[in-house]
């Protein structure tokens, strides 16, 4: 199995309560490492992202060391590696510095002979909607499934470089003819300029050729919405109590990666939702990504 992963890389800078600062790989790296952990050594994860000159060699070696990650799609930026700052008590990034330019289509088009594509808008500027359109046109004849995570597409940046929630221009176009769409409750609520209820938002998205909408709810679990005979069907999984690390940064990225892996192997959307929920909870609790005992991946 081969999975193409597209999105921006960033260095996450986590500010602790006692002036402690932790730097670690973030952005699309979270999805890449999750996929690598859940797939076998014979599978391949192909990430496409840019990184600054100073970090490129080291990061490529880290990815190659995972054993099943092909680093051919990692390219050097003309700008510094982006940084994302987190502060205690904030679920989303407080500010983003040096966001990279959108990823050009020619950086990914040579890697389209894959079993699935995951596009995660980790910065919100990862690629343009025109690039996404071209990607969909090229993989559609092969019926290659695409999972699109809205993620930070629903966030803008003010003059202080702070991330702020704002409606998404062309929000319907971003998911047109996309197989699986993921977003969290807050992202769904802030998606459109007009105030839509969750039911209205989901119903709009399901009319655009999508097979399923995944709404993650953090500690409250997640929901899966599908359409059958023009009727919206909903499947819920409860949140899982976690003890330990309780670091939720990257949990949504892990959720999407786990859902995609299970879906590709089983074809069962409901079971894939359960699997992803357990894997993401374990990531929050321990910081580790691993297939849960008793649930096949």
Mean local confidence (pLDDT), 269-281: 97
The arrangement of strands across the sheet holding 95-97 comes to 21-27, 9-15, 83-86, 95-97
pLDDT at 296: 60
Q: What is the pLDDT of residue 18?
A: 75
Q: Kindly list the strands in the beta sheet with 74-76, ordered across the sheet, starting from the edge strand earlier in the chain.
A: 74-76, 44-51, 2-6, 116-120, 146-149, 180-184, 212-216, 222-228, 231-237
The phi, psi pair for 187, rounded to 5°, reads -65, -40
> pLDDT tier at 246 (50, 70, 90 boundaries)?
confident
How do strand 180-184 and strand 212-216 relate by DSSP bridges? Answer: parallel
Pairing, β 222-228 against β 212-216: antiparallel
Neighbours of 226 (CB within 10 A): 17
251-266 helix and 269-286 helix, angle to the nearest 10 degrees:
150
Does residue 176 contact residue 135 with C-beta atoms inside 8 Å? no
Cα 14–chain centre separation: 19
Residue 122's alpha-carbon distances to 35, 89, 250, 295, in angstroms, are 16, 20, 10, 28
Radius of gyration for the alpha carbons in the chain, expressed in angstroms and rounded: 18
Q: What are phi and psi of 155, to 5 degrees?
A: -115, 135
pLDDT digits (tens, 9 = 90+) for 27-44: 999 999 999 999 999 999
- pLDDT tops 60 at residue 92: no
Nearest to 26 by CA among 58, 3, 59, 66: 59
Q: How far apart (Å, rounded) are the C-alpha atoms in residues 90 and 215?
A: 20
Distance CA 168, CA 190 (A): 8
| Beta bridge pairs of residue 14 | 22, 86
pLDDT tens string 140-177: 999 999 999 999 999 888 887 778 888 999 999 999 98
Q: For the CA atoms of 86, 89, 91, 95, what is the dihedral angle to 10 degrees? A: -30
Chain length of the chain:
297
Question: In the predicted model, is pLDDT for residue 89 greater than 70?
Answer: no
Instruction: For each of the domains in the chain, give its residue range(s) and CATH number, in order of start.
Output: 2-286 (3.40.1190.20)
As a whole number of Å, the end-to-end CA separation of the chain is: 13
Closest among 169, 72, 180, 172 to 119, alpha carbons compared:
180
Q: What is the pLDDT of residues 196-214, one digit of tens each?
A: 899 999 999 999 999 999 9
């Amino acid at each position: 199995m081969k999975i193409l992963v597209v999105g921006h890389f960033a260095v996450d800078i986590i500010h602790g309560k006692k002036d402690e600062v932790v730097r670690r790989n973030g952005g699309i790296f979270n999805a890449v490492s999750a996929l690598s952990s859940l797939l076998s050594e014979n599978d391949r994860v192909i990430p496409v992202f840019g990184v600054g000159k100073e970090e490129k060699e080291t990061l490529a070696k880290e990815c190659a060391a995972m054993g099943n990650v092909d680093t051919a799609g990692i390219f050097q930026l003309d700008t510094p590696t982006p940084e994302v700052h987190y502060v205690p008590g904030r679920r989303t990034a407080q500010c983003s510095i040096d966001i990279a330019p959108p990823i050009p289509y020619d950086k990914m088009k040579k890697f389209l002979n894959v079993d699935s594509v995951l596009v995660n808008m980790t910065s919100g500027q990862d690629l343009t909607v025109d690039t996404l359109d071209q990607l969909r046109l090229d993989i559609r004849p092969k019926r290659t499934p695409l999972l699109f995570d809205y993620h930070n597409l629903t966030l803008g940046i003010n003059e202080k470089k702070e991330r702020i929630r704002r409606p998404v221009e062309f929000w319907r176009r971003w998911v047109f003819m996309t197989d699986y769409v993921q977003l969290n409750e807050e992202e769904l609520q802030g998606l459109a300029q007009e105030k839509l209820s969750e039911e209205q938002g989901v119903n709009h998205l399901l009319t655009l050729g999508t097979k399923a909408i995944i709404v993650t709810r953090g500690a409250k679990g997640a929901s899966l919405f599908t359409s059958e005979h023009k009727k919206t069907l909903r499947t819920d999984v409860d949140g899982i109590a976690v003890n330990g690390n309780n670091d939720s940064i990257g949990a949504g990225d892990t959720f999407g990666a786990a859902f995609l892996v299970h879906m590709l192997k089983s074809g069962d959307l409901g079971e894939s939702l359960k699997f992803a929920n357990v894997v993401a909870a374990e990531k929050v609790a321990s910081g580790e990504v691993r297939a849960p005992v008793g649930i096949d991946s």
